[in-house]
Structures are given as structure tokens and as C-alpha cells.
């Protein structure tokens, strides 16, 4: 009995070849996307850092204004307390 041989074709593409090619393409896309992802993360980090600095500056401004208003409020309260205690006699002394 003689076995029949299949003709060998140089340009045949097997299922395993197709799967390997697809897997390589996915890995290539993944590697490319990692590089661009780092740039996006850096951009987002810089944006958040600028926003953080702006908020800290605004907070410091509000803090200074609060201290100023608190001192002014204490002066007014003291003036009202003196006015209640001595009446209108204290106006001419300033």
C-alpha cells in the first residue's frame, strides 16, 4: 500500500499562523498605547498640579481676608461693648 502525499504549498496559511499574527498585532497596539498613555498621564498630572496651586493661592487669600475680617469684627464688638457700657460719651474721645 502506498500512501498518498499531499502537495506542499509554500504559500499556505494555517490557523496557528493567523492567530499568531493577530496576537502580535494586539501586543503592538498595546505597546504603542502605553507610550501615549504616559504622555496623557503627565498632562493630567500637570493640569491637576496647576489647579492645586491655584486653589492653595485662593485658600491663602481667603485665609488672610478671614483674619482681617475677624480683627475688624473684634474691633467693632469692642466698640459696641464700650458704647453700651458708657453710652454715647465715648464718641468724642476718639
- Residue 8 resides in a domain: no
- Residue 9 resides in a domain: no
- Residue 69 resides in a domain: yes
- Residue 42 resides in a domain: yes
Measured CA distances, 90 to 73, 77, 81, 94 (Å): 19, 14, 11, 7
Residues 54 and 73: their CA atoms lie apart, in Å, by 28
- Residue 10 resides in a domain: no
pTM of the predicted model, to two decimals?
0.46
Number of compact structural domains in the chain: 1
12 is written with which cell numbers?
499556505
- Residue 7 resides in a domain: no
Residues 54 and 46: their CA atoms lie apart, in Å, by 12
Q: Report angle CA 45, 48, 53 to the nearest 5 degrees.
A: 125
- Residue 50 resides in a domain: yes
Q: What is the pLDDT of residues 30-63, one digit of tens each?
A: 888 877 777 888 889 999 999 999 999 999 999 9
Q: How confident is the model at residue 92 (pLDDT cuts 50, 70, 90)?
A: low
Residues 90, 83: contact at Cβ < 8 Å?
Answer: yes
Residues 82, 90: contact at Cβ < 8 Å?
Answer: yes
- Residue 11 resides in a domain: no
Q: Which domain holds residue 62?
A: 16-89
Amino acid at each position: 500500500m502506498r500512501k498518498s502525499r499531499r502537495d506542499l504549498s509554500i504559500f499556505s496559511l494555517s490557523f496557528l499562523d493567523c492567530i499568531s499574527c493577530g496576537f502580535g498585532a494586539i501586543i503592538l497596539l498595546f505597546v504603542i498605547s502605553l507610550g501615549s498613555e504616559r504622555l496623557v498621564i503627565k498632562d493630567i498630572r500637570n493640569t491637576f498640579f496647576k489647579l492645586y496651586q491655584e486653589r492653595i493661592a485662593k485658600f491663602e487669600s481667603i485665609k488672610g481676608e478671614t483674619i482681617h475680617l475677624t480683627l475688624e469684627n473684634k474691633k467693632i464688638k469692642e466698640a459696641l461693648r464700650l458704647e453700651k457700657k458708657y453710652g454715647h460719651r465715648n464718641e468724642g474721645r476718639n
